């Protein structure tokens, strides 16, 4: 059996994900090699993601190599995956999900969102997080900060901001748990679709035997049900990285619960619902939530967001 070629971005976090997948493959007796690929999102660090264009900003170059067979699979943060993949590609596996919540990371003590008496500047590149802050914590100021986690921490320590607003999963995987000063509530900061899981993408031309071996080694069934529901929700709303939509699925007593919504860029309007259904039909659940959100005013918020991001 030939080695499975794993394509990945070159950041430390992306490499952690690639090595994690390599370990899962190795445990199943499969040999692999890692190939590092530079993406547009890695190259352009002085412009916000919403201005670069949210579709495929971290995936396009990897997909090019999937298509011509230079790599067999591409490994991504599931939250970086666009909701609609080009016809030639598919996500064949989702790894077991890490805790999905957001955190505040800082080199300072006494940092808290609830401290209204102390001016606080948070660094983030996420429109979802900025809009959520404006809704729940309007006294907080934010500043755009991009780059890998190590770069962001350096910028923070140089004085750009007091703290960073990040996903726990990335912070934990990079070993920065001691810098976490606050774990944010899932009730307020519902994460981006897919946050905490690693997605494995392949070309539909991938050898069937290899495909099945990768799925068996890497796919966590419970996580895949959850992310299929979340991604179906995102697909209906056509939400890319720059649209502040959010959703988080959970499994309870064999049922799938999905909570999600949308928030306006100024934080004034936030729509959020929860639905429950059979886990064997997660896409239906995601579509149901999307329709409820759209009919309750989400459509108007979405149109307004897209018009503002295009100006």
Residue 191 domain flag:
no
Mean local confidence (pLDDT), 19-41: 91
**Contact between residue 240 and residue 83 where contact means Cβ atoms under 8 Å apart:** yes
Split into its structural domains, the chain has a count of 3
3-state secondary structure labels for all residues of 20-55: HHHHHHHHCCCCEEEEECCCHHHHCCCCCHHHHCCC
Domain finish residue from 183, 210, 238: 183
Q: Is the same domain home to 83 and 39?
A: yes
Residue 189 domain flag:
no
Residue 188 domain flag:
no
pLDDT above 50: residue 51: no
Q: What percent of the chain has pLDDT over 70?
A: 92
Q: In sequence order, which residues have a C-beta less than 8 Å from that of residue 178 and are 6 or more positions away?
A: none
| Three-class secondary structure of residue 217 per DSSP | helix
Residue 117 domain flag:
yes
| CA proximity to 167, closest of 154, 155, 152 | 152
Report the CATH number at residue 303: 3.30.160.40
Q: What is the DSSP code string of 79-146?
A: GGS-SS--TTEEEEEEPPPPP--EEEE-SSSS--TT-TTS--EEE---HHHHHHHHHH-TT-EEE---
Residue 55 domain flag:
yes
Domain finish residue from 161, 183, 205: 183
Predicted pLDDT at 239: 62
Predicted pLDDT at 311: 54
Q: Is the same domain home to 134 and 226?
A: no
Q: What is the dihedral of CA 97, 282, 285, 91, to 10 degrees?
A: 70
Q: Is the same domain home to 138 and 76?
A: no
User: Which position among 23, 42, 64, 80 bears the catalytic label?
Assistant: 80
Q: Is the same domain home to 87 and 208?
A: yes
**Contact between residue 268 and residue 257 where contact means Cβ atoms under 8 Å apart:** no
Mean local confidence (pLDDT), 158-170: 97
Q: In sequence order, which residues have a C-beta less than 8 Å from that of residue 163 and are 6 or more positions away?
A: 104, 105, 106, 108, 111, 120, 121, 122, 123, 156, 181
Exposed / middle / buried, residue 29 (Cβ in 10 Å: 0-12, 13-18, 19+): exposed
| CA proximity to 90, closest of 106, 113, 66 | 66
Predicted pLDDT at 203: 96
Residue indicated by tokens 């067999």: 72
pLDDT above 70: residue 35: yes
Predicted pLDDT at 46: 45
Q: Mean pLDDT of all residues in the chain?
A: 91
Report the CATH number at residue 112: 3.40.190.10
Of the pLDDT bands very low, low, confident and very high (cuts 50, 70, 90), residue 49 is very low
Q: 207 an active-site residue?
A: no
Range scoring the smallest mean pLDDT among 39-53, 77-91, 93-107 = 39-53
The residue range of the domain holding 214 is 1-97+197-219
More confident residue, 280 or 311: 280
d(CA 311, CA 295): 26
Tens of pLDDT, residues 253-305 = 889 999 999 999 999 999 999 999 999 999 999 999 999 999 999 999 999 99
pLDDT above 50: residue 155: yes
Tens of pLDDT, residues 121-137 = 999 999 999 999 999 99
Q: Is the same domain home to 73 and 23?
A: yes
More confident residue, 240 or 161: 161
Predicted pLDDT at 308: 83
Residue 190 domain flag:
no
Q: Is the same domain home to 274 and 140?
A: no
Q: Is the same domain home to 91 and 106?
A: no
pLDDT above 90: residue 56: no
Residue indicated by tokens 């500047």: 121
pLDDT above 80: residue 115: yes
Range scoring the smallest mean pLDDT among 31-35, 49-53, 222-226, 265-269 = 49-53
pLDDT above 80: residue 237: yes
Predicted pLDDT at 241: 64
Mean local confidence (pLDDT), 160-173: 97
d(CA 214, CA 220): 11
């Amino acid at each position: 059996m030939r080695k499975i070629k794993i394509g990945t971005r070159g950041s430390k976090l992306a490499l952690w994900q690639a090595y994690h997948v390599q370990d899962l493959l190795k445990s199943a007796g499969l040999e692999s090699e890692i190939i590092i690929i530079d993406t547009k999102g890695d190259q352009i660090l002085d412009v916000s993601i919403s201005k670069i264009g949210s579709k495929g900003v971290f995936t396009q170059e990897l997909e090019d190599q999937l298509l011509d067979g230079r790599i067999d699979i591409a490994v991504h943060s599931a939250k970086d995956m666009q909701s609609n993949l080009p016809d030639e590609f598919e996500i064949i596996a989702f790894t077991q999900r890490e805790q999905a919540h957001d955190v505040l990371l800082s080199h300072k003590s006494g940092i808290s969102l609830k401290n209204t008496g102390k001016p606080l500047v948070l660094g983030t590149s996420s429109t979802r997080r900025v809009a959520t802050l404006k809704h729940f914590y309007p006294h907080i100021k934010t500043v755009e900060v991009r780059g890998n986690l190590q770069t962001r921490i350096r910028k923070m320590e140089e004085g750009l901001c007091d703290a960073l607003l990040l996903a726990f999963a990335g912070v934990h995987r990079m070993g920065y748990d001691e810098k976490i000063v606050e774990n944010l509530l899932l009730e307020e900061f519902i994460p981006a679709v897919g946050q905490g899981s690693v997605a494995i993408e392949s070309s539909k031309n991938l050898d069937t035997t290899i495909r099945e071996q990768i799925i068996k080694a890497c796919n966590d069934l419970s996580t895949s049900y959850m992310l299929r529901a979340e991604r179906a929700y995102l697909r209906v709303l056509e939400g890319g990285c720059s649209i502040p939509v959010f959703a988080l699925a959970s499994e309870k007593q064999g049922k799938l619960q999905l909570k999600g919504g949308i928030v306006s860029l100024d934080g004034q309007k936030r729509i959020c619902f929860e639905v429950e259904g059979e886990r064997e039909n997660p896409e239906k659940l995601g579509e149901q939530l999307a329709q409820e959100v759209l009919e309750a005013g989400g459509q108007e918020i979405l149109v307004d967001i897209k018009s503002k991001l295009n100006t």
